[in-house]
Amino acid sequence: MSIRIFLYNKNMENTPYYRTLLPAARALLKGETDPIANAANLAALLFNTLPGLNWAGFYRWKDGQLVLGPFQGKPACVRILPGKGVCGTAAQTRQTVLVPDVHAFEGHIACDAASRSEIVVPVIQNGTLWGVLDMDSPLLARFNETDRKYLEELVQFFVSACRF
Ligand code: SME
C-alpha cells in the first residue's frame, strides 16, 4: 500500500496545473454547447485539478443579480447583488477581482469561514454578462497573476464552446 501526501506550497508555479487543465477542459466540453452542463463539468474539473481550493463554481447573472450556479464545495449563498462581495464587484466592474486576503476586502461575503483568498472572473458573452467564475481557497494569497491569466483563458474558452 502506498500513501501519497501532497503539500501545496503557495509560492509554487501554478502553470503546470493549467497545462493539464486546459486540454482536459477542451476534451470535456467537446461537442457540448449547453452552458449549465459545461459550467458543471468545469467546476468539477477545477476543483479536482487545482490544489488548495475549498470552492469552485459559477454564479449566473439573472434579473439584475447573481444566482448560484454549478459548483463544487460547501453549500453557498444563493443570491448576490451587483457591487456586493467579490462576486458582485467582478460582475459590476466586468473585471477579474483577485483578493489575496478576504479579511481585508470590505464587504466580502463569507459563505465558508475557512476561505482566506479568492479570485472571481466575469463571464461575458458578446458584450453581455452571463455570470462569474468564483474560486475560493483556505490559504492566504493562494491566487496570483498566473491564475488570472489562465482562468481568463478558460472562461474565454467556455464562452466560445457554449450556445447561450
Ligand atoms: N465570497 C464571495 C461569495 C461567494 S462564495 O465565496 C462561494 C463574495 O464575496 O462574493
How do beta strands 128-137 and 55-62 pair?
Answer: antiparallel
* pLDDT tens digits along 2-28: 565 555 555 557 888 999 999 999 999
Nearest CA to ligand 1 atom 5: 111
In a domain, 7, yes or no: no
In a domain, 1, yes or no: no
Report the Cα 50 to chain-centroid distance in Å: 11
pLDDT at 137 over 90: yes
Strand order in the sheet with 55-62: 79-80, 65-73, 55-62, 128-137, 117-125, 97-99
Nearest CA to ligand 1 atom 3: 109
The mean pLDDT of 141-155, rounded to a whole number, is: 95
Looking up cell 454578462 gives 129
Pairwise CA distance, residues 76 & 135, whole Å: 12
In a domain, 145, yes or no: yes
In a domain, 65, yes or no: yes
Residues sharing a CB contact under 8 Å with residue 145, sequence separation 6 or more, in sequence order: 98
First to last CA, the chain: 47
* pLDDT tens digits along 73-122: 999 999 999 999 999 999 999 999 999 999 999 999 998 899 999 999 99
Burial of 159 (0-12, 13-18, 19+ CB in 10 A): middle
How many angstroms is it from 3 CA to the middle of ligand 1? 34
Pairwise CA distance, residues 79 & 69, whole Å: 10
- State if residue 116 touches ligand 1 by the CB under 6 angstroms criterion: no
In a domain, 5, yes or no: no
pTM beyond 0.85: yes
- Helix count (H) and strand count (E) of the chain? 4, 6
Helix axes 145-161, 15-29, angle to 10 degrees: 10
The boundaries of the domain holding residue 97 are 15-161
Nearest CA to ligand 1 atom 6: 111
**CATH code of the domain covering residue 144:** 3.30.450.40
Split into its structural domains, the chain has a count of 1
Pairwise CA distance, residues 111 & 11, whole Å: 26
pLDDT at 15: 86
How many angstroms is it from 158 CA to the middle of ligand 1? 21
